[in-house]
Chains A and B, each alone.
Chain A
Amino acid sequence: DTGVSQDPRHKITKRGQNVTFRCDPISEHNRLYWYRQTLGQGPEFLTYFQNEAQLEKSRLLSDRFSAERPKGSFSTLEIQRTEQGDSAMYLCASSETVNTEAFFGQGTRLTVV
Chain B
Amino acid sequence: RKEVEQDPGPFNVPEGATVAFNCTYSNSASQSFFWYRQDCRKEPKLLMSVYSSGNEDGRFTAQLNRASQYISLLIRDSKLSDSATYLCVVFTAGTALIFGKGTTLSVSS
A-to-B contact residues, CB < 8 Å: 33, 35, 40-45, 48, 56, 91, 93, 95, 98-107
Contact = CB atoms under 8 A, between A and B. Distances in A.
A99 B42 contact: no
In order of increasing CB-CB distance, the 5 nearest A-B pairs are A42-B99, A104-B43, A42-B101, A48-B96, A43-B99
B43 A91 contact: yes
16 contacts: A33-B96, A33-B97, A41-B101, A41-B102, A42-B4, A42-B100, A56-B95, A93-B97, A95-B97, A99-B91, A99-B93, A102-B97, A103-B46, A104-B43, A104-B45, A105-B43
B44 interface: yes
B96 A104 contact: no
Contact of B96 (A42, A56, A91, A100): A56
Contacts of A105: 43
Contact of B98 (A40, A45, A95, A104): A45
Interface of B: 4, 31-32, 34, 42-46, 49, 87, 91, 93-102
A56 B91 CA distance: 14
Contacts of A98: 93
Contacts of B4: 42
Contacts of B46: 101-103
Contacts of A44: 99
A100 B46 CA distance: 11
Nearest to A103: B46
Contacts of A100: 32
Nearest to A104: B43
B96 A43 contact: no
A106 B38 CA distance: 11
A42 B102 contact: yes
B55 to A, nearest CB: 13
Contacts of B34: 101
